[in-house]
Structure 1
Amino acid sequence: MKKYSFLLVLLATHLGFAQRTLTIQEATLSSSAFSVENLNGIKWSKNDNTVSYLDASYQNLIVQSAVTQRNETIATKSDIEKALKNALPNETFALKTFPYNYNWVNYNLITFTVASEQNKYIVEYNTNTKNILSALPYAENGTNAIVNASNSLVAWLDGNNIKITNAENVTKNVTNDADTAIVNGSDNTHRQEFGIDRGMWWSPTADKLLYYRKDESMVADYPLPQWDTRVATIKNTKYPMAGEKSEEVTLIVYDLKTDRKVTLKTDGDKEQYLTTVTWSPNGESVYVGVLNRGQDHLKLNAYDATTGNFIKTLFEEKLSTWVEPQHALLFVPNDAEHFIYQTDAEGFNQMYLYNTKGKLVRKLGFENVIVEKVLGFSKDGKSISYMGITNNGLDRQLFQVELKKGKTKQLTTEPGYHNASLSTDGTFLLDQYSNVNTPNVIQIINLKNKKTQVLVDAKNPFEGLIDMPKMELVEITAADGKTPLNGRIIYPLNYDANKKYPVMIYVYGGSHAQLVKNRWMGGASLFDYYMAQNDYVVFTVDNRGSDARGRDFTRVTHRNLGVNEMADQLKGVDYLKSLAIVDQNKIGVYGWSYGGFMTTSLLLNYNDIFKVGVAGGPVMDWKWYEAMYGERYMDTPQENPEGYAKTSTLNKVKDLKGDLLIIHGAQDPVVVQQHSMEFIEACIKAGIQVDYFLYPTHEHNVRGIDRVHLNTKIARYFDTYLKR
């Protein structure tokens, strides 16, 4: 038997089937050859216990019954093309796949967006009759399109102005601002902080449009050099730096019937933030979270949608650190008097049931589970389901809570990262999950009898093809001596326990990011595994200040970004030094954006530990970062001069001893290039050598095929300076 196995190995090697390592292209571009088996676009259809998904070719829409387990193709790309040709004979469409952005209205009706050579269309398509019921057009260059409740009008953006188009392709201009510093209806208001993902809201009555009006004429122009012409030109972007003049935002209600506009009287500081924007169910009022620029005092206010007058403040939130609203209100179905509000004011982001008088009716939180995503109400409106963060941030599980008593049920139990939802009648559960040992499972569970229909049980896509390094999740204790931190270690491929290996620490460390997860590959990128295949120990720890652990975990960074984060990273280093295979004299660090700030800070503050660093798009001094994010954590430079001085990298360049490569995108509108330029200049003045590389056409990150160039440069830098 042993001889037979050995002969098979020899034969496989001879025929070219032996396992190998990843190429830099595969590690960067996530080759489809190593994609985990999946069902694309899977979701519940409406009012029926069936799920739908696209086949592997993306050409066909398939439905599968949770009851009978039978599946059938109910629509194809060809069906859509024929229907479009019949409904819009003067347009030319070139679909490559079935519309991936489809959504169900009911069992027979789906909506999706498609583009012709001239226009975009929001389409309603009947999967039974194979006919298009409606196709709302808007311009091919239009953005941010939203449809009203009666599906008769689409509002969209043409540059900085709002237009509304009907089914007959008649367009009405809502705004006509020639000054591009006046921006209407944009989701890029307040730089998309505070959970802002849209800039326009149709009223429930379908005849009024609420929208942001952003005046950034008072904000300084920030120049971005353009090198695509014979003589370079300048592209200006508005960039409100910390402590400097910021944008002024108002909310306007446009009445289509009267052609009248009313500005909500959100009195107060002109530079305050307007968040949590929500229509009342009857369309008569608008609720707005009014947050001061200092971001430590929120008022949830109600305004009259007809007059714009202030009605009342329902309640207020105050914290000595910051208040961070992230979600619109969610009204209970068929109940205009009660809504769900989310806040982490008591330690973890959870749901609270309020009435429209501002009285707290009931807390809907469960233990220390963090509400990550609300999925919706049950058919009878008596309960609500959500994805919750558990297991000290590592796992995601599905929960359902009753509104009347607050009783909570956990509906998924397998350890790991779930993406789950309930059927319309609540009798079936569609569950997709992975963990560090499970690539992907998709199953339908009957909640009454617990019978399970497995749709996908994916195999390891690397097995038999790629020799993958060993990965483990670990737990260490933070610098405060009590808080557990999640870490991930990837060992060198086929490592020798008697050898010592260099270390690449991959770091982010900032707010709203989590790197270590109980999901397939531990949340790591293939580039991390590529480096481990090339004889590195690759390590990551989510320090305090990062995401998915609750209020107190994040607030330790207030007014001193980087300080406690670095202290926790050093605890990660202590763990690494406890491993016999780690070369304690060859520890490097790599990170981007906030991770670039952390990388640079670690090399400067702990130059006896970190020998090599690659800092991409790094913040070098928080006074050059934008106001909305920066002032939340640091306050203004005027209010916190000591904190800004302490966290700046510029006055520490003399302490740089290791090799540091700084990489920046010349078109970066997030961390502007001034950060790295000022750092380079400080190094020159101090006589300190540092390496620098610029990507002329890229913004805050390097994407597409050019990322292969980026990762090659990073890998070579570590090979050159950490392995020597």
Structure 2
Amino acid sequence: MKKITFLSVFLLVGITAFAQKNLTIEEATYGQYRNFAVENIVSPQWRKDTKTVTYLDNSYSKLLAKSEEGNWAETTLLTKDELQNALKSKFSSDEFQLRMFPYSYSWIDKNTLEFEVDGKNSKYLIQFDVAQKAVKNGFAFSSEGRNQIISSDGKNTAWLDDNNIKITNGSGTISVTSDENKGIVNGSDYTHRQEFGIDRGMWWSPKNDKLAFYRKDESMVAGYPLIDFGARIAKSKDIKYPMAGEKSEEVTLVIYDVNAKKSLTLQTGEPKEQYLTCITWEPNGKFVYVGLLNREQNHLKLNKYDASTGALVKTLFEEKASTYVEPLHDLTFLPNSSSEFLYRSEKDGFEQFYLYNTDGKLVRKLGFKDVVVTSMLDFDKDGKNLFYIGTTNNGLDRQFFKVDLKSGKTTQLTSTSGTHSGSISSDGTLLFDQFSSVATPNDINIVNLKSNKSTNLVKAANPYLGKTNLPKMELVTITSADGKTPLNGRLIYPANFDANKKYPVMVYVYGGPHAQLVTNKFLGGATLFDYYMAQNEYVVLTVDNRGSDARGRDFEHVIHRNLGVNEMADQMKGIEFLKSKSFVDQEKIGVYGWSFGGFMTTSLMVNHSDVFKVGVAGGPVIDWSFYEAMYGERYMDMPQENQAGYDNNNLTKKANQLKGRLLMIHGAQDPVVVQQNSMEFIQACIKAGKQVDYFLYPTHEHNVSGKDRVHLNQKIADYFDIHLK
């Protein structure tokens, strides 16, 4: 009897040891990037003017390389210790303790790397000679400095000291601006709240003798309080938050002459409340191009200015729309040309390239079918062809393309269905192709575009096999509410699925512009939290409704002036799809989303209260008149111009329709969707006698990150388990 008992225990322990376990909430939060990280190449870059790919080792302590000349064998270019010794040699008065080789590095030329490092006393912007293993150029600036940008000759670096610009060079530091009024912000990439593709606030001229920069005057914008609960007596921290229809910031563009130490302002004119976009220097350094977009965001003028006087030279062309015009990219001049440039626009239905000359004449359309350009790569050695990544398969796939600039002929370089990403070598002959699909975790190849031969660098195994019982996922197609447009969806089945059982549902939703949740890549674009919920016996559905990204202008612009209407109609088609499944418990359907998804969650809970029994709305927009002008007015116009639209999607007016259990979550420091939104909804629920649950993260902004993300995911999962199962 004792022997049998011992044997039974041994077998039980053995089976448990080898059994696949469900994800923990920690693994559901971070596991995609830690426990179950797919084998990959870290920070790959093409070395300029070579056929060499560089990358970091897995410990972030070495810069490694593989080259065609070396038959793709691995070599070490530079170690963290060598870099640290070179920094100590150059800057002996400071101390460097590099925890890792700089992840964000770039190649300036064949032998020169550029990156940032932190010393004990200062920050440094470094240009490093890999061949000599020595610092070529290096600038120290305040540890509080931001947005540093180095001139192409390596002699000057511009950076932000609070709201002012400074330039550091071999002669010392120059104060470019000296505004004591904190309402005047110079050189900031947060101009226009980083809409319109803005990712910087300063631009060096091609000859490195001038610096163009934004000067943002937001002193007239109302201050908005954010409460810091960390102090013994809570403090109010005001931010500038121009709400829809209210007074907005006034922005100008300034040119600073480094040699003359003088500034001039481009004559961008009136009205003062306009958006300045697409900032581009002409290669000869004589002119600056600026896209002037009106506050209504339906009329763009591409203007050319004289950099020496600030005067308007010419309006090259204009772009208008009955909905909105949305410039997202600077101009790109063709190699070795000061007379022709590429402009990206969706004016003909899909975001594509247009070749213009500097007189404003359209030379050639370079678009291909219904492909939406998602990433511009580079030109080939002779500047005859342009390489880019674009969408196919109704937005599910990403493929590489090449377009002949002279003829406009486009060639699709990859064809395997899935998500291709990567880059092109300087001469345009080698493609770094990183591929993933629902069936392929990661497959990285170097493709010789002349011979069409491939060299495999990584063929990743499925990191979940044998470790966790990852539920089945499939991509589905659902017809939208217009009766004709196919929508992409992702359905995750409960673990150990039994078609004879009935399961509760969690719909995960975003639904807004510039976001795509469903893609043909590993895990279908889902996070592990979706799979965690499926492991806990939920059906999990996500649908990219009309209004979301990567499907073209008309697919997105259908939301104009009526946010939430067509999006909800499409989400309800997803519900019809679910209800057609015998394994779905139609009385147990819930919805979860954040930001625009929080708006959608709350909208579905109050407008379709008989369907959705549980909702979790994170950082939700409740009243679009409380949202900032740049984003909100693009899609809704001003409240003064579209009062009916604002009233229709003002969820405080529909709080009395709430029936199910709704948990609303907000970050107390949220500068994007201010907490006033959710507080207004709570107050409306109180007045309507409706019970609603509320949770606040006191120290977090628009989303909950770091270790607290585990707490958030556990709260969401618990809420569904308590109220829906």
The interval holding the TM-score normalised by the smaller chain is over 0.9
Q: Any conservation in 1 of the 2:65–2:76 contact (CA below 8 Å)?
A: yes
**Which residue is equivalent to 1:234?**
236
Cα distance per residue 1:351-381 (max 9 Å; x no partner): 0000000000000001111111111211111
SS in 1 for 2:108: strand
The CA distance in 2 between the partners of 1:25 and 1:640, in whole Å, is: 45
2:169 to 166, 180, 184: 166
The farther-off stretch of 606-615 and 29-38 is 29-38
1:610 to 607, 612, 620: 612
**Which residue is equivalent to 1:17?**
18
Cα distance per residue 1:146-165 (max 9 Å; x no partner): 01121100000011110000
SS in 1 for 2:206: coil
The CA distance in 2 between the partners of 1:539 and 1:382, in whole Å, is: 45
Q: Any conservation in 2 of the 1:506–1:539 contact (CA below 8 Å)?
A: yes
**Which residue is equivalent to 1:3?**
none
SS in 1 for 2:152: coil
Report deviation, 1:15. 6.8
Report deviation, 1:467. 0.9
The CA distance in 2 between the partners of 1:257 and 1:124, in whole Å, is: 23
Cα distance per residue 1:676-715 (max 9 Å; x no partner): 1111111111111100000111000010001111111100
Q: Any conservation in 2 of the 1:215–1:247 contact (CA below 8 Å)?
A: yes
2:428 to 417, 426, 429: 426
**Which residue is equivalent to 2:156?**
153
**Which residue is equivalent to 2:452?**
450
Matched, 1:70 2:73: yes
1:487 to 471, 474, 489: 489
SS in 1 for 2:55: strand
Q: Any conservation in 1 of the 2:618–2:664 contact (CA below 8 Å)?
A: yes
1:284 to 286, 291, 301: 286
**Which residue is equivalent to 1:663?**
665
SS in 2 for 1:16: helix
**Which residue is equivalent to 2:479?**
477
The CA distance in 2 between the partners of 1:473 and 1:14, in whole Å, is: 33
Matched, 1:136 2:145: no
The CA distance in 1 between the partners of 2:362 and 2:617, in whole Å, is: 46
The CA distance in 2 between the partners of 1:707 and 1:139, in whole Å, is: 32
**Which residue is equivalent to 1:690?**
692
The CA distance in 1 between the partners of 2:408 and 2:450, in whole Å, is: 21
1:126 to 126, 129, 132: 129
**TM alignment of 1:33-44, pairs within 5 A:** 33-44=35-46
**Which residue is equivalent to 1:294?**
296
The farther-off stretch of 23-32 and 504-513 is 23-32
Q: Any conservation in 1 of the 2:663–2:694 contact (CA below 8 Å)?
A: yes
SS in 2 for 1:177: coil
**Which residue is equivalent to 1:569?**
571
Structure 1 alignment gaps of length 5 or more: 1-6
Cα distance per residue 1:578-621 (max 9 Å; x no partner): 11111011000000000000000001001111110000000001
Q: Any conservation in 1 of the 2:601–2:615 contact (CA below 8 Å)?
A: yes
2:518 to 516, 519, 530: 516
Cα distance per residue 1:160-210 (max 9 Å; x no partner): 110000145x11111111111100000000000000111000111101010
Matched, 1:202 2:200: no
**Which residue is equivalent to 2:441?**
439
**TM alignment of 1:586-625, pairs within 5 A:** 586-625=588-627
The CA distance in 2 between the partners of 1:295 and 1:426, in whole Å, is: 37
The CA distance in 1 between the partners of 2:110 and 2:334, in whole Å, is: 24
The CA distance in 1 between the partners of 2:549 and 2:13, in whole Å, is: 45
Question: Which amino acid in the other structure matches residue 320 of structure 1?
Answer: S
**Which residue is equivalent to 1:108?**
111
Report deviation, 1:477. 0.5
Question: Which amino acid in the other structure matches residue 144 of structure 1?
Answer: N
Report deviation, 1:17. 2.8
Question: Which amino acid in the other structure matches residue 223 of structure 1?
Answer: P
**Which residue is equivalent to 2:3?**
none
2:178 to 154, 176, 179: 176
What's the C-alpha RMSD, in Å, of the aligned pairs?
A: 1.3
**Which residue is equivalent to 1:654?**
656
Report deviation, 1:108. 2.4
**Which residue is equivalent to 1:4?**
none
Distance 1:198 1:698, change over 3 A: same
SS in 2 for 1:34: coil
Q: Any conservation in 2 of the 1:398–1:421 contact (CA below 8 Å)?
A: no
The CA distance in 1 between the partners of 2:291 and 2:68, in whole Å, is: 41
**Which residue is equivalent to 2:587?**
585
Cα distance per residue 1:515-540 (max 9 Å; x no partner): 00001100000100000000000100
Question: Which amino acid in the other structure matches residue 478 of structure 1?
Answer: S
The CA distance in 1 between the partners of 2:261 and 2:169, in whole Å, is: 16
SS in 2 for 1:448: coil
Question: Which amino acid in the other structure matches residue 413 of structure 2?
Answer: L
SS in 2 for 1:430: strand
User: How many residues are matched?
Assistant: 715
SS in 2 for 1:135: strand
Q: Any conservation in 2 of the 1:29–1:705 contact (CA below 8 Å)?
A: no
**Which residue is equivalent to 1:90?**
93
SS in 2 for 1:183: strand
**TM alignment of 1:318-717, pairs within 5 A:** 318-717=320-719
Matched, 1:32 2:34: yes
Q: Any conservation in 2 of the 1:134–1:167 contact (CA below 8 Å)?
A: no
The CA distance in 2 between the partners of 1:341 and 1:106, in whole Å, is: 26
**Which residue is equivalent to 2:5?**
none
Question: Which amino acid in the other structure matches residue 584 of structure 1?
Answer: Q
Cα distance per residue 1:76-134 (max 9 Å; x no partner): 11110111111111111111111111211233221211110111112122222222212
Q: Any conservation in 1 of the 2:46–2:53 contact (CA below 8 Å)?
A: yes
Q: Any conservation in 2 of the 1:295–1:632 contact (CA below 8 Å)?
A: yes
The farther-off stretch of 579-588 and 96-105 is 96-105
Q: Any conservation in 2 of the 1:182–1:215 contact (CA below 8 Å)?
A: yes
Q: Any conservation in 2 of the 1:135–1:167 contact (CA below 8 Å)?
A: no
SS in 2 for 1:33: coil
Q: Any conservation in 2 of the 1:138–1:154 contact (CA below 8 Å)?
A: no
Cα distance per residue 1:198-234 (max 9 Å; x no partner): 1000111101010000001110000011112221110
Q: Any conservation in 1 of the 2:489–2:544 contact (CA below 8 Å)?
A: yes
SS in 2 for 1:495: coil
Q: Any conservation in 1 of the 2:667–2:696 contact (CA below 8 Å)?
A: yes
Report deviation, 1:508. 0.3
Structure 2 alignment gaps of length 5 or more: 1-7
The CA distance in 1 between the partners of 2:414 and 2:45, in whole Å, is: 17
Q: Any conservation in 1 of the 2:379–2:428 contact (CA below 8 Å)?
A: no
**TM alignment of 1:206-225, pairs within 5 A:** 206-225=208-227
Report deviation, 1:12. 8.1
The CA distance in 2 between the partners of 1:686 and 1:350, in whole Å, is: 49
The CA distance in 1 between the partners of 2:567 and 2:14, in whole Å, is: 47
Q: Any conservation in 1 of the 2:444–2:459 contact (CA below 8 Å)?
A: yes
The CA distance in 1 between the partners of 2:128 and 2:181, in whole Å, is: 39
SS in 2 for 1:544: coil
2:263 to 231, 238, 261: 261
Report deviation, 1:306. 1.0
The CA distance in 2 between the partners of 1:212 and 1:126, in whole Å, is: 32
Report deviation, 1:11. 8.3
Cα distance per residue 1:247-274 (max 9 Å; x no partner): 0000000111111111111112111101
**Which residue is equivalent to 2:120?**
117
Report deviation, 1:13. 3.4
Q: Any conservation in 2 of the 1:66–1:444 contact (CA below 8 Å)?
A: no
Cα distance per residue 1:5-57 (max 9 Å; x no partner): xx9x9588347232101000111123512100001011211111111111111
Question: Which amino acid in the other structure matches residue 114 of structure 1?
Answer: V
Question: Which amino acid in the other structure matches residue 456 of structure 2?
Answer: V
Q: Any conservation in 2 of the 1:12–1:18 contact (CA below 8 Å)?
A: no
The CA distance in 1 between the partners of 2:321 and 2:451, in whole Å, is: 47
The CA distance in 2 between the partners of 1:149 and 1:429, in whole Å, is: 26
1:81 to 84, 96, 99: 84
